[in-house]
Structures are given as C-alpha cells and as structure tokens.
Amino acid sequence: MRVLFSLRFAASLAALSALTFLAPPVGAEVSLLNVSYDVSRELYKDINPAFAAEWRAKKREAVTLNQSHGGSSKQALSVAAGLEADVITMNQAPDIDILVERGALVAADWRRRFPHESAPYTTVSVFLVRKGNPKGIKDWADLARPGVSVIIPNPKTSGNGRYTYLAAWGQALRKNGDDAAKAREFVAALFKNVPVLDGGGRGATTTFTQRGIGDVLVTFENEAVLIANELGKEAFEVVYPALTIEAAAPVAIVDKVVDKRGTREAATAYLNFLFSPAGQETIARHHFRPRDAAVLAQYAARFPAVRTFTVEGELGGWANVQKTHFADGGIYDQIVERR
C-alpha cells in the first residue's frame, strides 16, 4: 500500500518537474529594449508599431520592440545595474548623465547625437484643479496661499516633481529680480502646503484623482490632459500659469549595449524616427509638444502659448541645479526639513 502511494507520489512530482522544460516560443530578427520613464507608456504604445512597420518596409526585416516603464531615476539605476536597454528615453537629462558616469554605458556626447539636444519633444508643468476651480488657483502665487493643498511627486525620486520644484523656484526668481532668498521663502511656503509626496508622477495622479486629496495637482501638461480626458472632463480643469518650466525629454543610445548586441543601426533608426514627421505627429497626438514647427502648427489648438524657461537657460544647467538644490543637505532638503 505504502509503496503504491509513494510511487504515485513520485510520478506526480516528476510530471511537475517536466513542466519546467517547456518554454514560451521566442524568435525575432532584431529586438530593441526601450527603458523609459513612468508616464510615456501610452506614447510608445503608438510609436513602436509605427516604427516597426517603417523598418520592415525599408529593411525587409522584423523588429520587436520591448518596453520597460517606471520611475525615471529607478529605471536609470536598473540600466546601470545591467538591464540591457538599447535605448533610454527619459524626462530629464540627469537620468542619462548618470549612465555616462556609471560604467560609461552612454557616450559623454550623447546630447549631440540627435537634433534638439537629443530631446524629441518637450512638455510644460501645469496645474490640474477640480472642476470650477473652487480655490481660484490661477498662478504659482496661489499655491503658496494658506489653506490650499498641493499635490506634487517627490522631487528626490521623480523627474516630474523635480521640474515642479524648479518651476516654482525659477518663476519666483524672475518675479523677485533674481533674489534667491525671496525665491526660497516662496518655495518653502509652497511645500508647506504639500500633504503627501508620492514617489512618481502616476502615484501623485492617483492620490489627486482616486483618493481625492488636494486642491491642485502640479504635473506635466501631457499627464494633466490625459487625466482630464480619461477620467472625465466634468471632474477636472487644466490651468496654465503665466510662466512655467519647459521640460525637454532626452533620449540616448546605450552604446555599450548596442555594441554588444549589434543593434546600433536599428536603435539609431528608432530614435531618429521620433524626430521624423510621423513620429512628431504621434508625439503631438499624445499631448507632448513636438519640435517640428509644421506639426506644432497643425496641433496648435492643443498647446496654448505659454511663457517658459529652461534649466539650462535660467538656472545654470542640471549639474549646478543638482549640486545646489537636490544633493543631500541641499536647498530642497533644508526647505523640507524646516516644514
């Protein structure tokens, strides 16, 4: 009896381990992995099939495009740890610079490899308020008013949050004649109104829209419009401040990976596709501001003219900003600690 039991038992175990050797079918001629930030998912869902079709027409070769999305700094660190990305498409330059520093995965001159400093599109930081704008939020000054609750992702972990912080800082600088002390006072007052700091852009969106916390969400234009479209125009309104930051989204080839995998040609073509009229049009459809003047003109109704400044132009570049504001013990830490 017992022998029979254990035999049957052993047989079922054997059957279980046999499962192990089955594997899903794989097979494509070229494959590229695009490691990207959190809220670009919808864009690349459209870009990828369009590029694959163009590549097939030109090269008579199939190309498989794989995507990975997450908080931008976390994604950059994954690539630094060995995630084999052929291209990285980020929302802030520091997340590509870190791959130059760590293991020289990306060539130091990545900004000069593609047009427009290797950034195929830009977006701006805007406000999303609840329908009817009950708190009457029109500009940055309103966010620092007592009694207004502001939702911003954590500037330490999220590019989105970092741009918001820098937008608030930059416009305060300009308003107060470059007086850093006044700018600091304003940003400190603003962050006093922030009840939660989410890790990434999507987390902040969920806090504002699903959990119903806060009077205003500061986020990228594309995300704000997407929320208004997906989650109901009757619930939210987009407000454009008088002056805001322009966030360029940089892209780069991961040199070490493409050389190893022999995919440089396809990776270069993929990133070039983003700058082509077809790519630019897809970009505009997803509410990112395209670089191509003709496409921008065509979609002008979507992109209200807004005065902007950039990190490179106004704030002394990313390296400087990183050092004075976001390094441990920098101005951001001092402001948040004093809360």
Partner 1 sequence: MKINPAARARAISSLAPGELKRALAAVPWIKCLVLGLALGFFAVFLLLPLIVVFAEAFRKGLDAYWAAISEPDARAAVWLTLTTVAIALPLNLVFGVAAAWCIAKFEFRGKQLLVTLIDLPFSVSPVVAGLVFVLLFSTQHGWFAPWLQAWDIKIIFAAPGIVLATIFVTFPFVARELIPLMQAQGREEEEAAIVLGARGWQTFWRITLPNVKWGLLYGIILCNARAMGEFGAVSVVSGHIRGQTNTMPLQVEILYNEYSFSAAFAVASLLALLALVTLAVKSWVEWKARQALDFNDDKQDIAP
Contact characters 19-38, partner 1, x per CB under 8 A = xx-xxx--------x----x
The torsion defined by the Cα of 166, 170, 171 and 174, in degrees rounded to 10, comes to 170
Question: Which C-beta is closer to partner 1: that of 44 or that of 163?
Answer: 44
Instruction: Map residue 77 onto helix, strand or coil.
Output: helix
Parallel/antiparallel/unpaired status of strands 307-309 and 243-249: parallel
The least CB distance from residue 20 to partner 1, in Å, is: 5
Question: Which C-beta is closer to partner 1: that of 70 or that of 330?
Answer: 70
Q: Indicate which single residue of 16, 181, 293, 305 sits in contact with partner 1 (rule: CB under 8 A).
A: 16
Any idea which residue has 């070229």 for tokens? 30
CA angle centred on 332, ends 201 and 212, rounded to 5°: 35
Q: If binding is defined by CB under 8 A, does position 69 make contact with partner 1?
A: yes
The least CB distance from residue 13 to partner 1, in Å, is: 7
Question: Which C-beta is closer to partner 1: that of 26 or that of 293?
Answer: 26
Q: Indicate which single residue of 231, 294, 300, 327 sits in contact with partner 1 (rule: CB under 8 A).
A: 231
Cα gap 228→278, rounded to integer Å? 25
The least CB distance from residue 124 to partner 1, in Å, is: 22
Any idea which residue has 């002056």 for tokens? 243
The least CB distance from residue 260 to partner 1, in Å, is: 8
Residues near partner 1 (CB under 8 A): 2-3, 5-6, 9-10, 13, 16-17, 19-20, 22-24, 33, 38, 41-42, 66-70, 78, 80-84, 102-103, 105, 202, 206, 230-231, 260
